[in-house]
Amino acid sequence: MPDSLNQRLSILNPTASPEKIELMGIPFKSIQISWNHLTSAKIDFFDLEGASQLFQCASQMIDCQILSLEHGATTFPMPPIIHHRLKTLSLCSAKEWGLVPVLLDSLTLPCLHELDIDEAILLTHLTALVHRSSCPLTRLTLSLKFREDFPFLDMQPLPGVVDLVVEALNKEQAFLINKLLLEGYFPNLQHLTLRLQAFLYLWDMNIIPLLLDRKRREYQFVIGFSPCALSSCSPLEAESRDIGNPIRKPSARHT
């Protein structure tokens, strides 16, 4: 979809030069367009080779969402890729487990500001990404949907992250967030955003009062309904801008 009107274009038109595309289940080799003006891409059901070619061809891309990576028909060794303009990257729900870490480990992203992930294991890959990229990664969004063991021995602090968003988690992963927040893995955190489900899990574990009692910094809490959980609900927001003030557990009624 090349523009704000979401008009369709032919993927066999080498003169087409879209700024934005959304692709689902289309082999990269079958796409014959100009990538020179592409700034935003959302791809679904791509294999590793297709994802690597996207990063190599779309040199002006600043925003990229990758969903449901696949191995592909043949084994593909990911080459190292340097992309100089990408600022926002979302990596979600690989169809086959273990592919997203392979992709992430191949990338060097000097301009990366924001990262959205849904596999906790990817947290152990971020320090290396930031180190080799020298990137200003300041915002991290976690949508943890899977139950997985987490190797804390491999986790290093991320001092550059000042804005953390927890979109979703299950009860087991609430313990992971507890440890990350209270044991210094985000030492310079300034803003914490919790969706309602995540907030309630952390509240029940008495983590929210512990965060509010910390006097080192001011946190901003934004608690709202997760769209994927209650799509017809209006957002409910509560903020505590003074870390010393208590915050009450939110209640809401859905009609």
What are the φ and ψ backbone dihedral angles of 16, each rounded to 5 degrees? -70, 135
Please give the residue that has the higher pLDDT: either 210 or 219: 210
Question: What does the pLDDT average to over 3-22?
Answer: 67
Please give the residue that has the higher pLDDT: either 185 or 9: 185
pTM, rounded to two decimals = 0.80
Question: Cα–Cα distance between 247 and 6 in angstroms, integer?
Answer: 43
Q: Read off the pLDDT band of 149 (50, 70, 90).
A: low
Q: Read off the pLDDT band of 11 (50, 70, 90).
A: low
Check residue 55 and give its pLDDT. Answer: 97
- pLDDT greater than 60 at residue 89: yes
Question: Are the CB atoms for 240 and 247 separated by under 8 Å?
Answer: yes
Check residue 197 and give its pLDDT. Answer: 81
Q: Name the average pLDDT for the chain.
A: 78
Q: Read off the pLDDT band of 147 (50, 70, 90).
A: low
Which residues are 82's β-sheet partners?
108
Question: Are the CB atoms for 202 and 174 separated by under 8 Å?
Answer: yes
Residues whose CB is less than 8 angstroms from the CB of residue 228 and which lie 6 or more positions away in sequence, other chains included:
168
Nearest to 160 by CA among 128, 190, 132, 138: 138
Q: What sign does the CA torsion over 124, 129, 135, 141 have? A: negative
Please give the residue that has the higher pLDDT: either 60 or 201: 60
Residues whose CB is less than 8 angstroms from the CB of residue 251 and which lie 6 or more positions away in sequence, other chains included:
none
Please give the residue that has the higher pLDDT: either 152 or 243: 152
Question: Cα–Cα distance between 15 and 35 in angstroms, integer?
Answer: 10
Nearest to 193 by CA among 229, 225, 158, 166: 166
Please give the residue that has the higher pLDDT: either 238 or 35: 35
Check residue 13 and give its pLDDT. Answer: 74
Report the run of H or E that residue 82 belongs to, with start and end.
strand 81-82
From residue 101, alpha-carbon distances to 1, 210, 214, 240 in Å are 28, 33, 34, 36
Question: Are the CB atoms for 187 and 159 separated by under 8 Å?
Answer: yes
Nearest to 191 by CA among 141, 244, 123, 156: 141
Please give the residue that has the higher pLDDT: either 37 or 189: 37
Q: Read off the pLDDT band of 224 (50, 70, 90).
A: very low
